[in-house]
Structure 1
Amino acid sequence: MVLSSAIVIAGTLNASAAWALTPTQKTFLDAEKALKKQNYEVYKPLRAKLGDYPLAIYLDHDIDIGKLNDLRGEAAKALIDKYQTTPMYQRLRAKYLVNAGSKKRWNDFLALTPNAPTDVRLQCYFYEAKLAKGETQLAYNAAKSLWVYGGSRPKECDPLFNAWTKAGKRTQDVIWARMLLSFDEGETSLLSYLSQKITSHSNEAKRLVAVFKDPNSLRHTEKFKDKNPIVGDIVTAGLKRLARKDLDQAINLYTRYQKAKRFTPPQEQQLQKFLVRRVLIEQDDNFRDFVDTVLPEMKSDDMYERRLRWAIREQDHTHIARYLNLLAPETLTKERWQYWLYRTNAKNAPDSATKALAAISNERNFLWVCGVAIIE
């Protein structure tokens, strides 16, 4: 029997001598007791007496959940919708969909969810239902998106994936894409499993696994000089993994490979962004110049803000001014950056700062007070 915490709370009423029960509360507790004992002859008149008492729906839940899975789709939807404003709604809906999906009752499943759910298990059932209804392209496109993922997927997805694979849609490029994702996520077992499914680039798959185990092996740059983009994938993935353990070595090797034109433009952009983010997280002074060389071209307010925090920590006014200048207008309107903008203007252009402060002086907020203090 599944009862909400609301019933548990209500049940504590009769344990409190200081709390006098109303007649309706007593009826509710008596009905709950009868329901627990499955004494329906006693329960039914008590439930009828409760009418639309707010907690009564929790009693209904215990009755409805027992018959839910036997209902056809539209009837199930009507029953579940009764709980739409309660905490039980999503749980009842998921319970019905999982049961309908596991039994391949696709009409019932789709009656409850005409659009793709957010839960991965239910998504797999949804697209398996679409496949059964003849919407092949939609189902196969979704299967690819669900399969190309860096971790494991629930067993409920197996029938959809099997159908997609048998249709010849799981190409070598698709397997390689998932290998790279599993590499990034540190999923050793999945990476090893996928490496056995690669046939057209089996040697590269083995090298990828080897680099996963020892990313520092990338120091032997001559072993990775092949200009094939797939080798660039291996180097890119390996340097990202190495950067988590030894940022200095990763950036030094990146510089060597970059000079050798090892990367395609997308690989280089991806790797640069990753390495810059790692430096910004660690605020490593050794690679400040590296960051300031490549970061301005990245068009990323998130990373500009990280660099600004670093510059503020070190009171580096030159780079505070530089990166404030790079922020998008909507980001620059944040109060914290307005403060530093006025502070920078107060230092370099006091007349401009005074005018800016005058424009907001009627607000008399913290930002304005701080600005006045700086100018004075």
Structure 2
Amino acid sequence: MRFLRSAMTPYTGARRAGRLAGATALGLLIALTQAHAAPTSIAAPPSIADKTEQRKLYNDAQQAIRSGRYTEYRELLAELEHYPLKPYLEYNYINRRFSTLPAEDIAEFERDYPRSYLADKLNRRWVEKLAQQGKWADVVTQYRADNATTELTCYYLRGRIIEGDQSAYKEVPELWSVGHSQPKACDPLFANWMDRGGMTDAIAWQRFVKAMDSRQRSLARYAAKKMSPEKKKLAELYDEVDSNPRVLSDMSRFGEQSADMQQIILHGLQRLSLRDAELAHKLWQRYDAQQLFADKARLETQRYIAVRLLRQGHTSETEALIKATPALSSEDLTEWLVRDALRNLDWHRVNKWIAMLPTEARASERWRYWQARALEHTGGSAEQIKALYQLVAQTRSFYGFLSADHLNIPYELVDKPVTVNSVTRDQVATLGGVQRARELFILGKALDARREWYHTTKQLDETQIIAAGKLAESWGWHRNGIQAMIQVRYWDDLELRFPLAYQEHVNTTAKDLSVAPHLLFAIARQESAFTADARSSAGALGLMQLLPSTAKQTAHRSGMSFSTYDLLEPATNIALGGRYLNQLLTQFDGNRILAAAAYNAGPNRVKQWLSKSKSTSLPYDVWIETIPYRETRGYVQNVLSYSVIYGYRLGEEKPFITPSEARSSL
């Protein structure tokens, strides 16, 4: 049975300044102790309170290293034998002496902390140093493929060649022939390989094409310089077609029957279809009669053009194309046609295209639900319609909740907490990497904590990952508890997957604004999985992923003081996120569907979508299913579904769709 799965907005480069990081004041440490102490029912490393003095000594030792007081550092280190972050002191001490470090010190650290995050980091730096010193035999022996970067792999292959292993040359083309620039450390290896005659037209062409596909035009031109004059002419033609694909209209220039020419034609047709899919389709028909394209390439090109025809509004042409070539009917393409039919409330076409979906997709709760909806409008039997709704209503999902509403039955909320035996729990709790991650998390060093955690947990088996997730949740590290359930694909522990994180702040904001707390929980769960220092690629910050500009405007309207850093504080982030959500609810007459869509895609975009659908007033479920942005569509579905689950977690029965939302036509 499949249930609603986690969908989180990606975020990269998460950083937190960590006001408490490195703090030594006793009052701050006591506050940390109270905030993060683990329940006694969970086996864990020694309690936080016991580490107060150790943390002070740790900070003193770090300062001693920075100041070069190494005798003092060694004395302090002796007092920190059982402190989890002792390896960080040793690592920092090694770094201060790295230029003159004996090899034995590296080996000792790796023996003491085998395959740990810091040991692997040190190994990479050590191999780099050995290469820079020209100690190639040592590079070969110290290199580890499972811990390598591209730079280190280049050093390793170079070392093998220098040490007489000529078979290393066979591995160079794969490193060179990529669609992006490689590190400068690889240049001597590549030069040596080329001097030996390793470069061929085929290898240069391969990199040229990859670079063009990656839009790295300068790199592509560099690769073209490595070609023979005849091959270089083809590369120049490829470049011209990439810049101006309409030149394909002059078929006399593309009559050569070769794999390279076919690659140029297919690339140009795909580029052209982005701008003019109709012309691309006409030219495709002519070139298909001229060239003997491989079956796979033919199908991929036709599908690519068909999708662009759809996106450019040529629905009937696309349908005719699929009718003529049924093999084109991919899942993505057919789903697009189903949604086009839904947008036009053409229920017969909805039925037709659902029937064209692959068997597995057609059996999903999504398309079973829409099959039932279409049958309601096309004369399907009541028994068949009810059977479909009943089948979908058994799932804890967006479509399951919709189906339950149609049948007027309770929602399916399977809640089966996963269990961990005490032996496994205790073993995981005492792992060095887990203890280090916890201590770093407590000290506010979120990035280092995550690195330690991920490095450690990727080496665990399924049972151990579950135990680690339980531990993380007990410490208030909610995202890691959620992630553990995703890793092991266990969806029924609702306490772990949908924690009542920062409940006091949520309740305060909900009360102040008269906004339902389960909706605030749902937004925070969807946006960041309760990662307080989350930072998206677009610059959104904190639990509810607010852009600083949005937060500033919201704070100004609400009479709140504001600084960007405050968005990393849970209380402030939830307060501002709640107020922004409340503004959207007010703007869209309390409609959570529209407010959630606006929270993700922006209110102006939602207004545009509403304006476009004015000519055909859509039922709420059709409007959601036909939201133009896949991300926003999934976002709205998750927020509404998570709201039901959080209603259950809070002990309150909440409707999936309110009566006013159900009555609204969008």
Residues 306, 321 of structure 2: 8 Å contact kept: yes
2:174 counterpart residue number: 145
- 1:206 aligned onto 2:236: yes
- Equivalent positions of 1:1-376 (< 5 A) are 9-14=20-25, 22-67=52-97, 70-72=101-103, 76=106, 78-80=108-110, 82=112, 88-115=118-145, 117=147, 119-132=149-162, 136-137=166-167, 139-199=168-228, 200-261=230-291, 263-279=293-309, 284-285=314-315, 287-289=317-319, 292-293=322-323, 296-298=326-328, 300-344=330-374, 347=378, 348=380, 350-358=382-390, 367-368=399-400, 370-371=402-403
Q: 1:312 to 1:99 in 2, by over 3 A?
A: farther
Alpha-carbon displacement from aligned partner over 1:17-71 (angstroms, at most 9, x marks no partner): 8969943333333323322211122222222122222233322221122455745
Do the aligned partners of 1:335 and 1:367 also contact (CA within 8 Å) in 2?
Answer: yes
Q: What is the deviation of 1:223?
A: 2.1
Letter in 2 for 1:159: P
Task: Provide closer, same or farther for how the CA distance between residues 44 and 102 of structure 1 changes in structure 2, counting only shifts above 3 A.
Answer: closer
Return the letter of the residue paired with 1:59. L
Cα distance change on mapping 1:279 and 1:17 into 2, 3 Å: same
Q: Whole-Å Cα distance in 2 between the matches of residues 206 and 61 of structure 1? A: 52
- 2:179 and 2:211 in contact (8 A); partners too: yes
Q: Supply the distance in 2 between the matched residues of 1:91 and 1:9 (Cα, whole angstroms).
A: 26
Deviation readout 1:339-368 (Å, 9 max, x if unpaired): 234445555454334345555666687645
Cα-to-partner distance string for 1:72-115 (whole Å, 9 max, x where unaligned): 4x863552465568764553333223333444544434444443
In structure 1, runs of 5+ residues without a counterpart are none
Alpha-carbon distance change, 190 to 33 in structure 1, aligned in 2, over 3 angstroms: closer
Task: Label 1:238 to 1:101 Cα distance change in 2 as closer, same or farther (>3 A).
Answer: farther
Shift in CA distance, 265/28, structure 1 to aligned 2, threshold 3 Å: closer
| More displaced stretch, 199-208 vs 296-305 | 296-305
Structure having greater relative contact order (Cα 8 Å, sep ≥ 6): 2
Q: Residues 309, 97 of structure 1: CA spacing in aligned structure 2 closer, same or farther, 3 A cutoff?
A: farther
Do the aligned partners of residues 62 and 192 (structure 1) sit closer, same or farther apart at CA in structure 2, a change above 3 Å counting? same
* Unpaired stretches in structure 2, ≥5 consecutive residues: 1-14, 32-50, 409-666
Q: CA deviation at 1:156?
A: 2.1
Residues 141-191 of structure 1: CA distance to partner in whole angstroms, max 9, x if unpaired?
Answer: 432222222222222222332343334332212222222222222222222
One-letter code of the match for 2:213?
D
SS in 1 for 2:23: helix
| 65 and 299 in structure 1: CA distance in 2 versus 1, 3 angstrom threshold | farther
122 and 108 in structure 1: CA distance in 2 versus 1, 3 angstrom threshold: same
Change (3 A) 1:157 1:49: same
- Distance across 1 between alignment mates of 2:80 and 2:207: 56
Contact 2:200 2:227 in 1 (8 A): no
Partners of 2:262 and 2:293 within 8 A in 1: yes
8 Å contact from structure 1 (residues 152, 190) kept in 2: yes
Instruction: State the shift of 1:207 in Å.
Output: 2.0
Give the Cα separation in 1 of the matches to 2:155 and 2:339. 46
Q: What secondary structure is seen at the aligned counterpart in 1 of 2:262? A: helix
Question: How many Å separate the matches in 1 of 2:207 and 2:367?
Answer: 40
Q: Summarize the Cα distance change of 1:13–1:333 in structure 2 as closer, same or farther, 3 Å threshold.
A: farther
Report sequence identity in percent. 24
TM-score, normalised to structure 2, is: 0.48
Aligned residue pair count: 371
CA contact (8 A) 1:13 1:19 kept: no
The CA distance in 1 between the partners of 2:296 and 2:85, in whole Å, is 58
Distance 1:228 1:208 in 2: 14
Given that 1:215 and 1:239 are in contact with CA atoms closer than 8 Å, whether structure 2 keeps it comes out as: yes
Q: CA deviation at 1:248?
A: 3.5
Aligned amino acid, residue 339 of structure 1:
Y
Preserved CA contact (<8 Å) 1:184 1:241: no
RMSD: 4.0
In the superposition, the TM-score normalised over structure 1's length comes to: 0.78
Q: 1:167 to 1:330 in 2, by over 3 A?
A: farther
Return the alpha-carbon distance in structure 2 between the equivalents of residues 243 and 305 of structure 1: 20
Structure 1 counterpart of 2:650 = none
Q: Per residue, is there more helix in 1 or in 2?
A: 1
CA contact (8 A) 1:195 1:205 kept: yes
Q: Deviations over 1:285-328 (max 9, x none)?
A: 36433653477415744544454444444444455445544545
TM-fit CA distance, 1:5: 8.4
* Distance in 2 between residues matched to 1:278 and 1:83, nearest whole Å: 54
